[in-house]
């Protein structure tokens, strides 16, 4: 038996309920899209920065070539998060799934 989340729409008659469809769960999906993208981006930038500092401490002569690659990768990681945020906000405001 599948679980169907319900929500009461009439306070005077709590036995009557309506089922939630995909449109009702859209804010939850948008929150997950933005939140998980932010967590992933922050973890990625943190790991990238720590490995850059570790490698530049081991081989200081490679610091300048690695620095350009680090900034490029930080931009790609932040770009992925910003794109996910834009798509999530587009879904939340324009709602392309509504009829």
Give dist(CA 82, CA 99) in Å, integer.
27
Q: Considering the candidates 40, 66, 78, 91, report the single residue annotated as catalytic.
A: 78
State the CB neighbour count (10 A cutoff) for residue 58.
8
Using the structure block, give the residue that is written with the tokens 């990768």.
73
Give dist(CA 63, CA 81) in Å, integer.
27
78 noted as active-site residue: yes
- Catalytic residue ranges: 78
């Amino acid at each position: 038996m599948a679980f169907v989340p319900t929500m009461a729409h009439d306070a005077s008659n709590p036995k009557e309920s309506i089922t939630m469809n995909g449109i009702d769960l859209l804010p939850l999906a948008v929150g997950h899209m933005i939140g998980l993208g932010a967590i992933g981006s922050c973890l990625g930038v943190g790991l990238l920065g720590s490995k850059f500092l570790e490698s530049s401490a081991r081989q200081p002569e490679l610091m300048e070539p690695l620095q350009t690659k680090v900034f490029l990768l930080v931009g790609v990681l932040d770009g992925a998060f910003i794109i996910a945020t834009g798509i999530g906000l587009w879904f939340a405001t324009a709602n392309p799934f509504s009829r």
